[in-house]
Structure formats: structure tokens, C-alpha cells
Amino acid sequence: MSKIKKYQLNRNVGFYNFDTGLYETRDGRNLTYEESLRNKWKCDKCFETFPNFRNLRNHKEEIHSY
């Protein structure tokens, strides 16, 4: 029996490519380690990126709540 998730988290973690030495996102961008940490979480409505979940949650409460 599979469990249905109530909320979907948009974690945008880059995957390390050993050939280039950079992190690749699903968008195909190449990032350094610092850039991948800054862009870890992504808002599903406006696609803005955040370094941690707390900032993403505050953004959703302030900007996208009605």
C-alpha cells in the first residue's frame, strides 16, 4: 500500500557530474557547489529559488496566501 503525500516538496538538488566537476540541475544548468546550495528549494508557483525550507515557507505564506 503506497502512501499519498499531502504536500509536494520542490527540492531542486543538483547532481554532481564527475566529468565537468560541476553540479547539474534538472533544467540542464551547470552550477558550482555554492550556487547549488543557494538554489536548493524552488517555489512551485513563481519558480523563485531559496537556500532553505524556512525561507520558502515564509515566501509562500507572505506572497502566495490569500
pLDDT tens sequence across 5-61: 555 566 666 778 888 888 887 776 777 878 877 778 888 888 888 888 899 899 999
- Rounded Cα gap, residues 3 and 59, in angstroms: 28
For the record, the C-alpha cell of 19 comes out as 566529468
Please check the confidence at residue 65 and state whether its pLDDT lies above 70.
Answer: yes
Q: Report pLDDT for 33.
A: 79
What distance lies between CA 58 and its chain's CA centroid?
Answer: 15
